[in-house]
Amino acid sequence: MSDIIQLLPDHVANQIAAGEVVQRPASVVKELLENSIDAGATHVSLIIKEAGKTLIQVVDNGKGMSVTDARLSFERHATSKIKTADDLFALATKGFRGEALASIAAIAHVEQKTKQENQDLGTHIKIEGSEVIFQEPCATPKGTAIWVKNLFYNVPARRNFLKSNGVELRHIIDEFHRVAMVHCNVHFEFYSNGSEVLNLPVSNKRQRLVHIFGGKTNEKLVPVTEETELVNVTGFVGKPGHAKKTRGEQFFFVNDRFVKSPYLHHAVTSAFEGLLKDKSYPSYYLYLAVDPKSIDINIHPTKTEVKFDNEQALYAIIRATVKHSLGQFNIAPVLDFQRDASMDLPYEQAKRPISTPKIEVDRDFNPFATEFKKETPNLIDYSNKKIKNNTTTFVSNFKAKKTDDWQALYSGLNTKVTDAPSEETSKLEFESAVNTVQLFDKASAEAEKTQTVYQLQRKYLVTTIKSGLVVVHQNRAHQRVLYEEFRKQISLSNAVSQQLLFPLELTFSVTEIALLKSLEKHLEHAGFNFNGFTDEGVSIQGIPTVITESEVSIILEQLIADMEQEVPDTGFSQIDVMAKSLAKSAAVKTGVVLENEAQKHMVNQLFACEEPNRAPNGKTTFITLGVDELDKKF
């Protein structure tokens, strides 16, 4: 039998490797930005077009590459970061696999210009599908500029799996944030389709977070600092009062590298135990510095997962550190039996000098003056008095109240009290009581005739039908009603908006504002009325009639989270997801007491829907219990 195993050609091997390293345009952005950081750049510019599908350009002022290095950088497993296998456990740089540029060049048109500081000319190289088109000297400034064009041009199947431009742009912004949040000593610029998205000057970590997530971020940050032999923890956590309904701003960085760790995430959330509302998630931005030999970052192609030697100790340290920070800044309650909290001085008064309080006395005040006597004529008059030998003697000026009829005060005490009222009073009370009872009985009778819906455990609505009982889940039923209403309003643009007396100002990050701008038209069809957008938030003048002003921020946060879940940017799917998200947020929650009229109205609305059997998420809205099933229970 002939041999059937053979070595793959280099271009095929590179395309297979690209499937692991390059999943979407954001993966290319991550690799190129990390290369610029490793090159010692202090200024990095990112330029993209059509969410990176057409162009991804990264320009830096790093140390650049020589002619030979520029060519070798596109070969597989070519890297300057490691030389032996032991170097894998002492990494202090971002890229080390030597696969990034080779994988990118296998599935795109790549151009690179680079020059070192001590060179007169740089190198210009162009590669298409792993094939070098040309390499020649060129005039270029110090550093490296790389263009990645027509991503996945020779792998159309992979290109078809890319999401819409809006979704891919959000992924690129997320990767940009993760790199920029760590390297605050680098000036970053980000441009999309010719317009500036972010411009982050050199700053400290707190300022960098404010520049990325908006000016209101500063007031919700609580500093976290702890140094141990195992790990040094720095960064910030968000105050519990600013917790969101979605898992958005949650970041872990290990040795200046963004990682995902559900185990450490649980450590942070457990430190907030008892401080958060139900289904609320805290924000945190934590930077961990550990010994490179104690972690393994080579367990995932994208290097976003790491393995720690002693995870349990790290869990305990992070949990205790966050809990201590919350208590130190009076965010969490603290038990201290050695001091009296009521004796603490406010912070702004702690350094003020202590002075003796001044007491002023009105020495001309006389409580027994004429005015006082006139107001209380029945009291003893002390105004005429004489002082002798330090004793006070009073002139006989006592004016006693007349008590000639004092016996009348006690008259009738010995008389036996009876319950029999007078004739007129009895007649009046009797007639009133009869009328009241008649009215009450009539109202009760009418209520018994009309009471057909009952609320059970503040969760279900029970009503009767000819064949038995119907049990309705109030939350799911209301979701179905609102879903069809929102979908119809967005599609037909006929929603009614209630105007607010004062505009509602809400704060969002740059990414969230960009998403809301793309949804502005559909949101206006649903009943929202926007005054305008700024770099840090949005102003809302009108809201749909089915929601209250206090629910607007929660609904929009939930909508943003739902729309970020790989949703197409246009078409009916976007309208459908918006309607589902708005209905889910605005629906009556379990535990809410409904009046009888509201109960009946909800049941009637449910059965008037096009598809009353299922909620928007596909779950059952009601069940029926026939008389036969009830008979079997007895």
Instruction: Give the tokens for residue 395.
Output: 């002139």
Question: What's the confidence (pLDDT) of residue 343?
Answer: 59
Residues 6+ apart with CB under 8 A from 569: 163, 164, 165, 166, 167, 518
Report DSSP state, residue 407.
G
Question: What's the confidence (pLDDT) of residue 339?
Answer: 56
* Helix segments in 403-509, DSSP class H: 423-450, 474-492
Question: What's the confidence (pLDDT) of residue 172?
Answer: 92
Q: Is 108 helix (H, G, I), strand (E, B) or coil?
A: coil
Instruction: Give the tokens for residue 516.
Output: 């809301």
End-to-end CA distance of the chain: 76
Domains of the chain: 10-200 (3.30.565.10), 205-328 (3.30.230.10), 468-624 (3.30.1370.100)
Q: What CA–CA distance (Å, rounded) separates 64 from 36?
A: 9
Rg of the chain taking only CA atoms, in angstroms: 38
Report DSSP state, residue 620.
B
- Hey, which residues does 542 pair with through a beta bridge? 499, 529
Q: Is 518 helix (H, G, I), strand (E, B) or coil?
A: helix
Q: Is 29 helix (H, G, I), strand (E, B) or coil?
A: helix
Q: What CA–CA distance (Å, rounded) separates 560 from 557?
A: 5
Chunked in runs of 10, what are the mean pLDDT values of the chain (634 residues)?
A: 73 66 88 90 94 93 89 76 57 62 88 91 90 91 93 85 83 91 93 90 91 84 90 91 79 88 89 81 90 73 73 90 84 57 59 77 78 47 46 46 56 53 46 43 45 83 86 92 86 79 84 82 86 84 85 84 62 74 86 88 90 89 88 84
User: Strands 187-192 and 43-49: what pairing?
Assistant: parallel
Q: What CA–CA distance (Å, rounded) separates 393 from 386?
A: 6
Question: What's the confidence (pLDDT) of residue 208?
Answer: 92
Q: What CA–CA distance (Å, rounded) separates 580 from 571?
A: 15
Q: Answer whether 171's CB lies under 8 Å from 515's CB.
A: no
Question: What's the confidence (pLDDT) of residue 433?
Answer: 40
HSE (CB half, 13 Å, CA atoms) of 286? 31
Residue 566 identity (one-letter amino acid): E
Q: What CA–CA distance (Å, rounded) separates 400 from 73?
A: 114
Residue among 83, 85, 103, 82 nearest 38 (CA):
82
Q: 25-38 and 165-182 are packed helices; what angle lies between their axes, rounded to 10 degrees? A: 20
Residue among 592, 559, 589, 588 nearest 574 (CA):
559
Q: What CA–CA distance (Å, rounded) separates 35 from 73?
A: 11
